[in-house]
Amino acid sequence: MPSNMFENDVILNRGVVEIIDTQEFIGLLNSGTPLKLKMGFDPSAPDIHLGHVVGLRKLRQLQDLGHQVILIVGDWTAQIGDPSGQSATRRMLDHKEVEANAETYLRQFFRIVDKSRTQVVWQSEWFGKFTLADVIRLSSQFTVAQFLQREDFRKRWDAKRPIAITELLYPLLQAYDSVMIRSDVEFGGTDQKFNLLVGRQLQEMMGQRPQQCFLVPMLVGTDGVLKMSKSLGNYIGVDEKPLDQYGKIMSLGDDLIPTYFELLTDLPVKELNEMKSVLLSNSVNPMILKKRLAKEIVIQFWGETAGDNAENEFGRIFQQREIPQEIQIFTFPEKSNQGEKIYADFRMSNMLVNSGITSSLSEAKRLVRQGAIRIND
């Protein structure tokens, strides 16, 4: 199934940071043999966001060329906790939490990748049979010095922060997944580079053809600074309501418009370059482009009707200053004062979080600071 030059250009260059090894990967693409495309996910939280979608869209592109997607459910590694991009040890989850999270993860994944052409594999299929001897045999393949080359481990080591032995096992377990499914290509964000390379090395040690490592960029969140993350409250969830998705896209800084179009839509490269040009020259109102982006994102997950409705409702509320058709009711706590009821003391930011209007205290404080909250109107 050799792919044409246009398909190769989109796959190799759009939404790609690095491929290890590019020439080997091109050779595999053009070999006519379906490739096993591996993406592992740890169901450490119940939802996915647009940051995850960047890699999933790349999987879908290759899937549409006839290649086989294999999703590895990290039901074992999620219980250990991968510190990639983290500054401290992540808490371990119990198996019930992992299973519940995996259920929602998979449902959301299949809104992007084709379920009928995807194989779902749980790590417990092989790690459930692992003995202590197996763990020791696996860990003997690498040294602690090799693992301390990983940036986040090295920083924590230099800062004298704790690194659990279980965390050192994480890259090994992820690598062993590649061995068990004989992965041809593994996908991940740039924060996963070390883990993907360990998989490549371990396969070679065990006599397999080493997998290609396909690294996609980390999507910047709604704060415009840090990578998208639920823990930072700067995310746009795949399962969020259409109007919420639309509104969060509209809150993005203008400089993020081209990046979001590039990584999350199929906008042709020619149009993408023209957009960058008009934004730089200030010859178009960024609001027009942002509306188009917001609508395209909503349509991608909820369909044309939802996209039209979100666009119209956003216009009614934020441009025409009308009251939303659906509005959430939140009652302030009251207390008595000499027979009279008065509102208890409260912080506006706390109320926004408690009512579910915002997902974090930092986001609530930012909205209050920016004058985004009105009272009695």
Q: Domain residue spans in the chain?
A: 5-216, 240-327, 331-377
Q: What does the pLDDT read at residue 32?
A: 87
pLDDT over 80 at 3, yes or no: no
Q: Name the pTM for this structure.
A: 0.77
When comparing pLDDT for 265 and 91, which is higher? 265
Would you place residue 339 in the very low, low, confident or very high pLDDT band (cuts 50, 70, 90)? Answer: low
pLDDT over 80 at 372, yes or no: no
Would you place residue 1 in the very low, low, confident or very high pLDDT band (cuts 50, 70, 90)? Answer: very low
Q: In a 3-state reduction of DSSP, which class is residue 187?
A: strand
Whose structure tokens read 């990639």? 84
**CB distance 346 to 337 below 8 Å:** no
Determine the CATH number of domain 5-216: 3.40.50.620
**And the tokens for 273?**
């370059």
Superfamily of domain 240-327 in the CATH hierarchy:
Tyrosyl-Transfer RNA Synthetase (1.10.240.10)
Question: Mean pLDDT of all residues in the chain?
Answer: 84
CA 75 to chain centroid:
18
| Burial class (CB within 10 angstroms; exposed 0-12, middle 13-18, buried 19+) of 89 | middle
Cα distance between residue 76 and residue 94, in whole Å: 10
Q: In a 3-state reduction of DSSP, which class is residue 183?
A: coil
**CA torsion through residues 7, 48, 226, 371, sign:** positive
Which range among 4-13, 66-75, 88-97, 117-126 shows the weakest confidence by mean pLDDT? 88-97
For 72, the enclosing helix (H) or strand (E) is strand 68-73
When comparing pLDDT for 221 and 355, which is higher? 221
User: What's the rounded mean pLDDT across residues 106-113?
Assistant: 92
Cα distance between residue 108 and residue 245, in whole Å: 15
When comparing pLDDT for 177 and 143, which is higher? 177
User: What's the rounded mean pLDDT across residues 345-365?
Assistant: 73
Cα distance between residue 260 and residue 258, in whole Å: 6
Cα distance between residue 71 and residue 42, in whole Å: 11
Cα distance between residue 229 and residue 49, in whole Å: 8
Q: In a 3-state reduction of DSSP, which class is residue 2?
A: coil
User: What's the rounded mean pLDDT across residues 193-209?
Assistant: 93
Amino acid identity of residue 222, one-letter, is: T
